A = this chain, B = another copy of it.
Amino acid sequence: MTQRLVVIGGGAAGMSAASAARRTDPSLEVVVLEARGFAAYGMCGLPYFMSGTVDRAEELIAYPPAFFVEKRGIDLRLNTRATGLDAAGHRITFDDGKGEQELSYDRLIVTAGGTPTRPGALGLEDPRVFTVRALEDAIRLRELLDDGSIRTAVVVGAGYIGLEMAETLVTQGVVVTLVEMAAGVMPTLDRPTTDLIEEEVRRHKVDLRLDVAVSALRRVGDKLEVTIGDITETFDAVIVAGGVRAESTLPAAAGALTGPNGALLVDVRMRTSLPDVFAAGDCVALHHLVLGRPAFIPLGPAANKTGRVAGTVAAGGDASFPGIVGTAVVKVFELCVAMTGLTLAQALAEGLDAVVTEAKGKSRAKYYPGSEAVLVRLIHERGGRLLGAVMVGRGDGPAKRIDVLAVALHAGFGIDDLAGLDLSYAPPFAPVYEPVLLAAQAAARPVHVSV
């Protein structure tokens, strides 16, 4: 008898899972339930569609629905929301607009993604309040931007999505207020780095307000009255770009174990604690190789990879996902900010004897046109193991350079290993001493242990 795999969620993780499952076992029936009207799009591209950098919404979609149905034999059902899970009975319920129905499964993969947290006032459902997770929201916002309806906006949350949205709106001529509850932008970064980001944001005329919250939100005619701290002002739009909570409601209610931020706990084969239920993408906590325990860092590359592993294993194949080191990069106007592993604050909070070594290098030979400064901060045990790194610079110098440190974290390298790395050099692309080598040499210098 044909086995049935049901996938909840048709985002990057869900469609990767469905495709991998069909590839592993072409006889498998694969049903994907997607609550919204689009599948398999790059959520991370939304700011660039809203800014007009990407012209058409279709460009963000990896493959159209027909591709999955016709080429990959996947039963993709859009506008279909999963509403219940009976893990013991191997059954789910769903609603496709024609009332609640039931579907049995042999194996289930949950890739329900994340839900933007909307604390307090931001709970307001309003056509002028937007999140940055759904293509529908992005299309709606882009229309309003294109017809000139939005001249002022407040972006709530100055994490990487909030920063990208501030840039997007400034690009479109909008006067932007960026509000962050924490004392600095990107609360997961250390202070000297965030100073550079804040300077860049303010240089582009963004009204950055730190250490303050949005306490009230009210619709007045075409506009929104927003109370930021003690001050009430009027804006054309509000963008909610705060934190994300793992969307684990159904499996959690069925008894699945969860960890940080409500994210589902999984093993390296993406199995949850429920029988025959797998999970992948933004709704799971992944093993952090530096911390040595599950962490909730919902990003696109891991969503794709874990979806693929879940789909392969659920279909009877073998695959595993070793874990993450927390690598990320964000463009903030002309600045490129890249990070991997732990920040100093995180390392100290873990009780590690951590220090920071900073160095300033160049993105190309200093005499070659377009050479830009690259700041490197290495977080490491005194004279020992690498724990993390941050790189900041103009242009795209830091973006792929951080990967050297990411691989070094995967390998468990120490500072002395870093200093000896054989990295590529040619004047148009790199200086003879890569910034990371300068930093590693500076870190190793006090004890003369290596180059």
Contact = CB atoms under 8 A, between A and B. Distances in A.
Given A450-B320, A451-B309, A428 B327 contact: no
Contacts of A318: 448-449
Contacts of A321: 420, 451
A21 interface: no
Contact of A300 (B42, B369, B396, B432): B432
A367 B417 contact: no
B410 A422 contact: yes
Given A401-B400, A411-B413, A451-B308, A367 B48 contact: yes
A375 interface: no
A431 to B, nearest CB: 9
A422 B302 contact: yes
A424 B12 contact: no
A426 B42 CA distance: 10
Copies in the complex: 2
B400 A429 contact: yes
User: Which of A327, A408, A410 has the most chain B CB within a 10 Å cutoff?
Assistant: A410
Contacts of A308: 441, 451
A420 B322 contact: yes
A213 B77 CA distance: 66
Nearest to A445: B23
A305 interface: yes
Contacts of A369: 53
Interface in A383-432: 396, 399-404, 406-408, 410-411, 413, 417, 419-430, 432
Given A331-B429, A400-B424, A425-B44, A368 B54 contact: yes
A448 B319 CA distance: 6
A108 interface: no
Nearest to A41: B367
Nearest to A46: B427
A324 B425 contact: no
Nearest to A413: B411
Nearest to A47: B427
A299 interface: yes
A402 B425 CA distance: 11
A412 to B, nearest CB: 8
A252 B324 CA distance: 50
Interface string A317-339: 11111111111111100001010
Contacts of A330: 426
B411 A399 contact: no
Contacts of A365: 42, 44-45, 48
Interface of A: 12, 24, 42, 44-45, 48, 53-54, 59-60, 299-302, 304-305, 308-309, 312, 317-331, 336, 338, 340, 365, 367-369, 396, 399-404, 406-408, 410-411, 413, 417, 419-430, 432-434, 437, 441, 448-451
30 contacts: A24-B448, A42-B427, A44-B365, A44-B427, A48-B367, A301-B422, A301-B423, A301-B425, A301-B433, A305-B420, A308-B451, A312-B451, A319-B449, A319-B451, A320-B451, A323-B422, A327-B422, A327-B423, A328-B424, A328-B426, A329-B424, A329-B429, A399-B424, A400-B430, A404-B407, A406-B424, A407-B408, A410-B411, A410-B417, A411-B411
Closest 7 CB pairs of A and B: A399-B429, A411-B411, A59-B367, A329-B424, A407-B407, A400-B400, A322-B420
